[in-house]
Amino acid sequence: MNEEEIKKKIDEEIVKTEKLIADYKEQSKPVTLDNSIGRISRMDAINNKSITESALRQAEAKLSKLHHAMDNIDKPGFGLCIKCKQPIPIGRILLMPESNKCVNCAR
């Protein structure tokens, strides 16, 4: 996979993650007290909000790492394992953009 294809994949992942962040922000809005839902439903909504906020933080961290990877893509050695010098699979780069080792060397 060449550099342009990797850039395209990272761009696609950035767009997807930004949409996910927007969805999480919408889902994590507080439940208003004037909403007439039961006590159990309100507790469930508060719990779901907490889970969504955690997912939001993880998505924001991933987005930051994807931007960092995009900034470094033009640097020599990007996408190569620092230990064995073999190419890091694009799936790993997209999942863990901060990775500088292949799966085998990261163990």
Model pLDDT for residues 36-70, shown as the tens digit of each residue: 667 677 778 778 888 999 999 999 999 998 998 89
Q: Rounded mean pLDDT of the chain?
A: 87
Q: Domain spanning 3-106: which superfamily? A: DksA, coiled-coil domain (1.20.120.910)
Please report which confidence band the pLDDT of residue 34 belongs to, taking 50, 70 and 90 as the band edges: low
Q: Is residue 15 predicted with pLDDT exceeding 90?
A: yes
Distance of alpha carbon 93 from alpha carbon 41, whole angstroms: 40
77: tokens are 């050695």
* pTM: predicted TM-score of the whole model, two decimal places: 0.77
Tell me the average pLDDT across 20-36: 82
The answer to whether the beta carbons of residues 43 and 57 sit under 8 Å apart is: no
pLDDT tens digit sequence for 79-107: 899 999 999 998 898 888 878 899 999 98
Tokens 């962040």 found at? 21
Q: Which helix (H) or strand (E) holds 89?
A: none
